[in-house]
Amino acid sequence: MITFIFALYSCFIAYSAEIGVAAPDSPEKTVSSPVIQKQVSDEEEVIEKALLGIRDPFSVPESISSVRVKTELEKFPVHKFKMLGVMTGPKKVKALVLAPNGKTYFVQSGDLIGNRKGKIVRINSNSIQIVEKIINVFGKEQDSQAEIVLPNENPSVGLRSP
């Protein structure tokens, strides 16, 4: 165990000499910073310089944090969904949709739907309005309107003729 600690200390001294920092036994010196000046020991400076190249193990890497996992609703084209009904509540209106995979989902305004980055903008009693992002012929992204309509299977139900 002592051999391991000695070897670790030797590597630390060798590394500090390699990056041009004095050994930890030397007296304290002033480190100037554009914002703050403070007294630090050489040990702290060596540790700080050694840690500059190491990423924080508790932070999420940028490449992972920017990736968003698509939901089931974003895997299919909008025209493949079927609207089954509408549910009104005290604050929001929700719609029940049937996805091509056979599962049903409750959706509301602001939800993402469709494989073209579609976003639900409005739900009314018989349709869901969606704005999708498409690439036009010039290669620019533009908004496109889509709609999922509640099918009217039997229009005569509930109606009486005189």
**What is the reported pTM?**
0.54
Q: Is residue 117 part of a domain?
A: yes
Report the 10 Å Cβ neighbour count for 47: 15
Q: Is residue 52 part of a domain?
A: yes
Q: What is the mean pLDDT of the chain?
A: 75
Q: Is residue 109 part of a domain?
A: yes
Sequence-ordered strand ranges (E) for the chain: 29-32, 37-40, 82-88, 93-98, 104-108, 112-113, 118-123, 127-135, 141-149
Name the helix (H) or strand (E) containing 43.
helix 42-51
Q: Among residues 101, 82, 78, which one has the least CA distance to residue 151?
A: 82
Q: Is residue 161 part of a domain?
A: no
User: What is the residue range of 56's domain?
Assistant: 2-65
Q: Among residues 16, 17, 14, which one has the least CA distance to residue 44?
A: 16
* Number of domains the chain is built from: 2
- The model's pLDDT over 99-154, given as tens digits with 9 standing for 90+, comes to 999 999 999 999 999 999 999 999 998 999 999 999 888 889 999 999 999 988 65
Q: How confident is the model at residue 31 (pLDDT cuts 50, 70, 90)?
A: very low
Cβ contact 46:24 at 8 Å? yes
CATH value at residue 107: 2.30.30.830
Please give the pLDDT value at position 154.
57
Q: Among residues 86, 69, 91, 80, which one has the least CA distance to residue 123?
A: 86
Residues 59 and 110 placed together within one structural domain of the fold: no
Say yes or no to pLDDT of 19 above 70: no
